[in-house]
Structure 1
Amino acid sequence: MRVNRRHILVIASIVALYALITWLLFSQSLGGWLQTVSAAFIYTLPCSVGALVCFLGYKLDRPSGFWAYAAPALTMFALVIASLLFNMEAIICAVVAAPILMIMAFIGGVIMSLILKRTESGRLSITFLVLLPYAVSPIEQMWQAPHETRVMQNAVTIKASPAVIWNQIYQVPAIRKEELPAQWIYLIGFPRPIAATIDKQGIGGRRHATFERDVSFFEVVTVWEPQHRLSFTIKADPEFIPHTAFDRHIIVGGRFYDVLDGTYEIEPRSDGTCILHLSSTHRLSTRFNRYAGWWSEWVMNQIQGSILEVIRQRCEHIQS
């Protein structure tokens, strides 16, 4: 069944206008009641977009599986791409949000198609669904977002002695770009690690970890066991992190996400190698911690894994 291109253009324009107005209002955090990092924006808004696409498709074109099942998700995907083209959102946010946005848009289309099968006009239903994000967000803001901490763990086997490894972890000389393994996180905008310095050896020593785009983390050593274990607290002050370094929604040390501490542990093995463990504790404070947690683990596994790979290469070069 062919779809009229003119109808597609009209529907796309109406839906894009609705999405743009909603994004503008939510991104301004009007009175604190409308928030982009919210269940209303992540779940309800795409459901409303999908319902609107289905409704307009049924009314302006004809009832079909395309408007009920395919068009809502495709429209949501197009809106995500448009947000990137017009610099409305960062790549990392688009990558993280796109799957759930498209799923919810699909659900919205299915819901609207079921409603239209049972009612003649569906006008009251679509009005309710279009306004639903504006009703859900203020209610949602009445409750504090749950806080959740997670520990990320990575490890690498290194053909070097504990002494060699220790000298490469309590401080990290400048990392050349070619030393870092290729990782998706760096391709989509995460700053690459540069170096870590320390003002003095021992407990209370202050480490300064730097990343690209003038990103800095200030760390205080809490455990100092040479050739065995190094632990430190991590402080990221959002006021000293350039706004261009991270997307405003996921800035480290901000309202929704933070890194609290880190630990290196060297585990010698009988074959002369060592396993270097790197773990860190993170805080998530969103209304979709389960989904956000999966992505934060994926991102941190890539970051920690790339740092461990740099240390492995350097230690094995020194040992050889």
Structure 2
Amino acid sequence: MKRENLITIVQIMVVPTLYAVALRLFFGGNTWGNLFSVMSMSFLFCVPTIMGLLTVYLSDIENVRHFSYRFFVPWIPVVILLIITIAFTIEGWACWLMILPLFLIAASVGGLIGGQLKMRKHDSKLYISFLALLPLLVAPLEVVAGSISGTYEAYTFIDIKAPAEKIWGNVTRVRGISAAQDKGWLTRVLGFPRPVKAELNYNGVGAYRKAIFTNGLVFHETVSEYADKQKMVFSIKAYPYEIPSTTMDEHVVIGGQYFDVLNGTYELERLNSTTNRLHLYSHFKLKTTFNFYASWWARWIMQDIQNNILQVEKYRSENE
């Protein structure tokens, strides 16, 4: 390999990666308060876009002429950034899994922009310099605009061939769930705590229900509406100070700055003489500047948790 080609390869991998690492450390610091935040569109979209732009703009013009190069090669620095931030515990695996699709799409967009600038006949270094500063310029404006607070619903249900009395007993009080009974594939991949058990002190309005998960996560629930073997509505509260820092990434901690679960509802519907349908709703709150994206993941996570619980309640009602 020619020395010039080797220098170009190193350049298009190192420069975008160092740029992203520097901004990740800057946006993740506490020096500027809330002016610069990793949980912002200015970081989550602008930074990978500039990474892709730099990767393609610094590449050889013959490579840049190919669309596949402009679209896919910007993914390489993103993967390198992923490896570095996880290796040095700058970022967690769960966060990366959720933001990776956004990073890859933004990097490809940046690669296409960089390709257009590269193929222009006149020098574009001034444009590149300005665009590289874009995250720092946009972030304060995003803070002024403010985060969007939104409430969302996660809905799941399951059909159970068992008497209502038996189902309801497994709903109000969930005995210990072993690891083998845990079917929550998404939460397992993300490394989220898994459910262990749920305790209710009595059946009725005002009752206290404690839903216990692994790694110190506890949902404190208060029953606000109760109809025996028909419906139970309860508020949900998780206190971040009770959750060990190693349990969840700070950006997705339940009850934290960005994500909180508000309430849940169980409803038991009779379908026929042998089958009942168990509905489970929950409402959660997000407060970010990119709720349109974060709400997809939050809903998938909540539905995975709920489906996991419903599967346990179905098995126990039908087989025990």
Does the Cα contact within 8 Å between 2:187 and 2:194 map onto a contact in 1? no
Q: Secondary structure at the match of 1:267?
A: strand
Structure 2 residue aligned with 1:167: 169
**Per-residue deviation, residues 186-227 of structure 1 (Å, max 9, x unmatched):** 132011001111223311111111111011111100111111
Displacement of 1:241 = 1.5
Structure 2 residue aligned with 1:292: 294
Aligned-partner Cα distance in 1 for 2:44–2:63:
29
Aligned-partner Cα distance in 2 for 1:266–1:68:
54
Does the Cα contact within 8 Å between 1:50 and 1:107 map onto a contact in 2? yes
Percent of counterpart pairs with the same letter? 32
Where does structure 2 lack aligned partners over 5 or more consecutive residues? none
Q: Which amino acid aligns with 2:19?
A: Y
Aligned-partner Cα distance in 2 for 1:150–1:182:
21
Aligned-partner Cα distance in 2 for 1:58–1:235:
55
Aligned-partner Cα distance in 2 for 1:158–1:150:
27
Residues 1:201 and 2:203 aligned together = yes
Where does structure 1 lack aligned partners over 5 or more consecutive residues? none
Distance change in 2, residues 1:49/1:167 (3 Å): same
Does the Cα contact within 8 Å between 2:13 and 2:76 map onto a contact in 1? no
Structure 2 residue aligned with 1:273: 275
Does the Cα contact within 8 Å between 1:53 and 1:67 map onto a contact in 2? no
- Partner of residue 143 from structure 1, selected from 138, 145, 149: 145
Displacement of 1:133 = 0.5
Structure 1 residue aligned with 2:5: 4
**Per-residue deviation, residues 150-203 of structure 1 (Å, max 9, x unmatched):** 111100111111110111111211111111225132132011001111223311
Displacement of 1:117 = 2.4
Aligned-partner Cα distance in 1 for 2:80–2:21:
13
Aligned-partner Cα distance in 1 for 2:218–2:74:
41
Residues 1:86 and 2:88 aligned together = yes
In the TM superposition, 1:75-224 aligns within 5 A as 75-181=77-183, 183-224=185-226
Q: Which amino acid aligns with 2:288?
A: T
Q: Secondary structure at the match of 1:53?
A: helix
Displacement of 1:67 = 5.2
Aligned-partner Cα distance in 2 for 1:64–1:258:
47
Does the Cα contact within 8 Å between 1:164 and 1:315 map onto a contact in 2? yes
Aligned-partner Cα distance in 1 for 2:121–2:262:
53
Bigger shift: residues 197-206 or 122-131: 197-206
Displacement of 1:119 = 4.6
Q: Secondary structure at the match of 1:68?
A: helix
Distance change in 2, residues 1:266/1:216 (3 Å): same
Does the Cα contact within 8 Å between 1:195 and 1:211 map onto a contact in 2? yes
TM-score (norm: length of structure 2): 0.93
- Partner of residue 285 from structure 2, selected from 278, 283, 286: 283
**Per-residue deviation, residues 205-252 of structure 1 (Å, max 9, x unmatched):** 111111110111111001111111111000111121222111111111
Bigger shift: residues 273-282 or 241-250: 241-250
Q: Secondary structure at the match of 1:142?
A: helix
